[in-house]
A and B are shown apart, each in its own frame.
Chain A
Amino acid sequence: MYQLTAGTEILRLIDSAYIPADPDNTDYQNYQQWLDDGNTPEPAPPAPAPPTAAEKLAAAGLTVEDLRGLLGIS
Chain B
Amino acid sequence: MANWSNPQLTSTYTNFVTEVKDRDVDLALQFDGTTSTNIPTNTIRWNSSINRWQKWSGSAWGELTSTYALNALSVSGSTSLGTATATTVATGDNSTNIATTAWVKAQNYLTSVAGSFLPLSGGTITGNLTVGGTFIAGGDICASGVNGGSFAFRNKIINGDFAIDQYNSGAVINAITATAYFTDRWQLNFSGATGGSIKGQQNYNVGTVGLPRYFNTYFGFENNTAVSQTSADAINIQQRIEGFNVASWQWGIATSRDALLSFYFRTSVSGTYGVSIQNAANDMSYVTSFLVTAGAVNTWTAVAFRIPSPTTGSWFKDNGVGIRVRLSLGCGTSSQTATTNSWISGNFHAPTGAVSWVGTAGATFFLTGVQFEPADNVNAVVTDFENPPLSTKLALCQRYFYNATQYVGPNNAITTYHHPVRMRATPTVTGGGTNYNTMLLDTNGVAHYRTVADSRAMTYSAEL
Contact = CB atoms under 8 A, between A and B. Distances in A.
B342 interface: no
Contacts of A18: 428-430, 432, 436, 438, 441
Contacts of A9: 438, 441
B427 A20 contact: yes
A8 B330 CA distance: 41
B430 A25 contact: no
Interface string B421-454: 0001111111011011110011000000001000
Contact of B437 (A5, A12, A25, A28): A5
Contacts of B320: 24
A71 interface: no
Interface string A13-57: 001111110101111100000000000000000001000000000
B395 interface: no
Given A7-B437, A25-B462, A15 B430 contact: yes
A11 to B, nearest CB: 9
A58 B451 CA distance: 14
A14 B310 CA distance: 40
Interface residues of B, number: 23
Contact of A27 (B428, B432, B437, B438): B428
Contacts of A22: 425-426
B319 A24 contact: yes
B376 interface: no
B131 to A, nearest CB: 46
A73 interface: no
A59 interface: yes
Contacts of B429: 17-18, 20
Interface string B374-410: 0000000000000000000000000000000000001
A24 B463 CA distance: 10
B423 to A, nearest CB: 10
Contact of A25 (B426, B432, B435, B438): B426
A71 to B, nearest CB: 21
Contacts of B361: none
Nearest to A24: B425
A49 to B, nearest CB: 12
A41 to B, nearest CB: 15
Contacts of B436: 16, 18
Given A16-B430, A27-B461, 14 more contacts: A5-B437, A6-B437, A15-B430, A16-B432, A16-B433, A16-B436, A17-B429, A17-B430, A18-B429, A18-B430, A19-B428, A22-B426, A25-B462, A26-B463
Sort A-B residue pairs by CB-CB distance and give the 4 closest, nearest first. A24-B425, A22-B426, A20-B426, A18-B429
